[in-house]
Amino acid sequence: MKIGTFYSGTIEELNGQSIKSKFFILGIPLFPISSFYFVSKTQGFKLPLVGKIARIGFGRTLCFVIGILLTLLCLMYNDFPNSTCKIIAVVGAFLFMAITIYSWTSGQAIPRQERRTRLILEKGIGYNMLPSKLPKNIRITILQSILKKIDNKYSSFFLDADITSIDFDKNELPILYSLSTYMASIKENKAASDFLNKYPAEKFYELCFENKANA
C-alpha cells in the first residue's frame, strides 16, 4: 500500500505546462494538500489549493482504482452468485474505466484564442499560463522577472506614453506583449491597454508565428 503524496487533476495543459494538485495518499487519495503550476516537470510555482483541480484529481483516481478492482474481479473470480452480479461487475468496470479515460481527455481542449495567447506568452517569457489563472502574488513575481529582462530599455513605455511614439524592436514584441498582459492583470495601466489594443492576440499570433511559417 502506497503512502505519501502525488500530483493529479491536471488542467490547462499546454506544451508541458499545467496546473495540478498534490494529494496525500494512503493506498487511495485521501485529501488534497496544495496546487502547483508546473512550468516543467520539476519547476514552477506553488499555488493556493484550487478546488476544481482537487475534485478532478480525487474523482479521477478513485474511478481508476474502482475500475481496476472491478476488472480484476471479473478476470480472476468466476464464481459469481449469478449472471446478474457478473454483468453488473463487468458494466461497472467498463463505466469506471471509461470515466477515468474521459476525465483524462476532456477539459484539455483549449479555445483557439486562449491557445494563441498562451503561445505568445511562452515565446516571450517562457511561462504560458494565462495570468487570470494565477494568484496575484505569482503574477507580480512573473512581472518582476519580465521587468528585469527588459531593464530600462523601454522606460517610456511605463509612463503611459502614446505607444505609437515608441520604436519597438520587433524581436522583443513577444516579451512586451507578455509585459502588457501581466501589467493589465494586476492593475489598470494605459500603456499596457494601448499595447494590447494595438496588438490583439489574433493579430499578434499572425505576426509572430504565421508570417514566419509562410516565409
Q: How many domains does the chain have?
A: 2
Model pLDDT for residues 16-61, shown as the tens digit of each residue:
898 888 878 776 667 778 888 999 888 888 888 766 666 766 677 7
Q: What is the pLDDT of residue 164?
A: 57
Same domain, 124 and 101: no
Same domain, 76 and 165: no
Same domain, 122 and 190: yes
Give residue 117's domain range: 112-214
Same domain, 20 and 99: yes
Last residue of a domain, one of 81, 105, 129: 105
Same domain, 63 and 101: yes
Predicted TM-score (pTM) of the model is 0.70
For CA atoms 83, 86, 92, 94, give the dihedral sign.
negative
Last residue of a domain, one of 105, 128, 145: 105
Report, as ranges of residue numbers, the positions in the chain whose pLDDT lies below 50: 213-215
Longest dimension (CA), the chain: 82
The C-alpha cell at 9 is: 487533476
Last residue of a domain, one of 59, 88, 105: 105
Model pLDDT for residues 115-130, shown as the tens digit of each residue:
999 999 999 899 999 9
d(CA 133, CA 139): 9
What totals of helices (H) and strands (E) does the chain contain, helices first?
A: 8, 4
